[in-house]
């Protein structure tokens, strides 16, 4: 017996229905906000992710599924969608004019420690708006994200919001941070000691308990903001307040990927037991140019679909649409039943052909498949040009059975469903 690979799951039943619902809803809302769909390959050249996400991030340094293909090319199963979308905007020449607004969904891969809501193969739903830098764009994006959450029935969430400033801000902040962290260097984890010289801001995202404690007293980026970044962030906050978005400033939020600047955010649930981030994103000032594209800013976010599913109610997705059971009494009626089935499908009526075993066994199968009505076709029915209908959920014995003329059947079934 084979099981799925550790940290990967088969998707079926209620979760499969939720998945479809999330995508359909997001697509509808995304189109309203002007986003077109893009599907990039699951595999990219490894360099695509090294270049954009950053070598010192956990994602690149520990979690990527990288391999050499048979031709010796270094490839990686995508750990996120933003880098691949940037690569595509440049390689497919999609930026005829700005902004370019793209949405995507699909499988992502990170070799992380599996637990509830954290998998090695998971799914993201993402949006990227490239070539438009304005606090209004940031606020509109967050309004869209909130609208999607509400539309799929995830109501109790808040946005944790921070700014990572412009490059001038980060340069000044990095100096202050290194000064502080150097005083505690001997207590830092090995990873963080290395990052102190290579990429000190990554230490703020460390999962190590000691590192976290040290970081609690670290200087805040908000104290180092350039005038422009401060005004920009203030305007984003004002607009979100006006739009009624539930947000909270979290000055320690740095995100786990290197490409962010200015606005950065994560979505958290405020009720229920699942409190990890259900989504995250932010602005990136030079990502497109890293791939050879124009020097323009962009902003985007991605939801983790499995995490959204954890926060959605199951009840609505357990409902089964009404379905007709087409039941020939014996093999001799199979062909008439087959013809009927075809005309039901042509009339867009959902139906099952149940033809194996005795009549009572067939009725049991109809019950198990939760069919609402059984259309029974026997010798007499064929002779008289009619069908016998049995309403599976009807309690009243007299109303449970009804005979309907062949020519009236489709109209009748459409009427009762």
Tell me which residues touch ligand HAM (CB under 6 A). 80-82, 110, 112, 117-119, 122, 124, 126, 128, 256-257, 277-282, 300-302, 304, 306-307
Q: Bridge partners of 343?
A: none
- If one counts every other C-beta atom within 10 angstroms of the C-beta of residue 91, the result is 12
Q: Which is nearer to ligand HAM, 135 or 328 (CB)?
A: 135
Nearer to ligand HAM, 126 or 378 (CB): 126
CA-nearest of 25, 112, 132, 44 to 82 is 44
Question: Of 23, 38, 5, which is closest to residue 123 (Cα–Cα)?
Answer: 23
- With respect to ligand HAM, which residue has the nearer C-beta, 287 or 376? 287
Among 73, 75, 103, residue whose Cα is nearest residue 88: 103
Residue 391: closest CA among 406, 363, 372: 372
Residue closer to ligand HAM, measured from CB, 51 or 362: 51
Q: Following CA atoms 170, 175, 176, 182 in sequence, which dihedral angle do they give, to the nearest 10 degrees?
A: 130
Find residue 299's DSSP bridge partners.
Answer: 129, 283
74 phi and psi angles, rounded to 5 deg: -85, 110
In this complex, which beta carbon is closest to ligand HAM, that of residue 112 or of residue 382? Answer: 112
| Chain position carrying tokens 């039901």 | 344
Half-sphere exposure of 137 (CA within 13 A, CB side): 24
Least distance to ligand HAM from the beta carbon of 401, Å? 51
Shortest spacing between CB 249 and ligand HAM, in angstroms: 18
Sheet holding 401-405: strands in order across?
351-353, 324-328, 373-377, 386-391, 401-405
The number of residues in the chain equals 417
Nearer to ligand HAM, 138 or 306 (CB): 306
As measured in angstroms, the least distance from the Cβ of 314 to ligand HAM is: 19
Nearer to ligand HAM (CB atom), residue 21 or residue 265: 265
Residue nearest ligand HAM, CB atom distance? 304
Q: Which of 144, 154, 108 is nearest to 28 (CA)?
A: 144
What angle (nearest 5°) sits at the alpha carbon of residue 271, between those of residues 265 and 275?
Answer: 50
| Nearer CB in complex with ligand HAM: 233/387 | 233
Q: Which helix (H) or strand (E) holds 384?
A: helix 379-384
Using alpha carbons, list the distances in angstroms from residue 249 to 169, 196, 237, 310: 18, 26, 9, 25
Q: At closest approach, how far in Å is the CB of 318 from ligand HAM?
A: 24
Residue 158 CB, nearest approach to ligand HAM (Å): 14
Q: How far is the CB of 289 from ligand HAM (least distance, A)?
A: 16
d(CA 140, CA 142): 5
CA-based nearest residue to 289, from 251, 267, 261, 256: 261
Closer residue to ligand HAM, CB minimum distance, 160 or 394: 160
CB of 252 to ligand HAM, least distance (A): 15
Nearest Cα residue to 310 out of 180, 158, 160, 152: 152
């Amino acid at each position: 017996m084979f099981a799925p690979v550790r940290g990967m799951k088969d998707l079926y039943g209620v979760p499969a229905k939720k998945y479809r619902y999330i995508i359909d809803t997001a697509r509808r809302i995304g189109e309203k906000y002007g986003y077109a769909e893009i599907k990039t390959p699951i595999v990219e050249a490894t360099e695509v992710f090294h270049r954009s996400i950053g070598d010192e991030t956990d994602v690149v340094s520990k979690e990527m599924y990288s391999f050499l293909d048979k031709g010796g090319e270094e490839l990686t199963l995508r750990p996120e969608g933003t880098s691949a979308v940037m690569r595509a905007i440049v390689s497919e020449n999609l930026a005829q004019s700005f902004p370019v607004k793209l949405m995507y969904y699909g499988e992502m891969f990170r070799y992380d420690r599996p637990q509830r809501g954290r998998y090695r193969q998971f799914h993201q739903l993402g949006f990227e708006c490239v070539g438009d830098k304005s606090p209004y764009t940031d606020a509109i994006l967050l309004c869209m994200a909130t609208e999607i959450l509400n539309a799929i029935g995830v109501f109790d969430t808040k946005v944790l919001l921070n700014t990572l400033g412009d490059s001038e801000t980060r340069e000044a902040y990095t100096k202050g941070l290194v000064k502080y962290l150097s005083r505690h260097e001997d207590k830092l984890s090995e990873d963080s000691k290395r990052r102190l010289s290579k990429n000190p801001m990554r230490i703020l995202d460390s999962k190590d308990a000691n590192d976290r404690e040290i970081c609690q007293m670290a200087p805040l980026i908000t104290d180092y903001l350039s005038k422009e970044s401060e005004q920009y962030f203030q305007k984003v906050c004002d607009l979100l307040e006006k739009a009624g978005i539930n947000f909270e400033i979290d000055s320690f939020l740095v995100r786990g990927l290197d490409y962010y600047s200015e606005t950065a955010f994560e979505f958290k649930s405020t009720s229920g037991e699942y409190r990890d981030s259900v989504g995250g994103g932010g602005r990136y000032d030079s990502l497109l140019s890293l791939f050879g594209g124009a020097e323009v800013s962009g902003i985007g976010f991605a939801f983790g679909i499995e995490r959204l599913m954890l926060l959605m109610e199951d009840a609505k997705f357990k409902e089964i649409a009404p379905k007709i059971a087409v039941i020939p009494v014996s093999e001799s009626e199979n062909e008439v039943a087959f013809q009927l089935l075809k005309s039901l499908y042509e009339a867009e009526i959902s139906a099952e052909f149940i033809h194996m075993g005795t009549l009572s066994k067939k009725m049991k199968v109809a019950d198990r498949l939760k069919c609402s009505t059984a259309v029974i076709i026997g010798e007499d029915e064929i002779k008289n040009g009619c069908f016998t209908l049995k309403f599976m959920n009807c309690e009243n014995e007299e109303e449970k059975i009804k005979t309907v003329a062949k020519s009236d059947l489709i109209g009748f079934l459409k009427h009762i469903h």
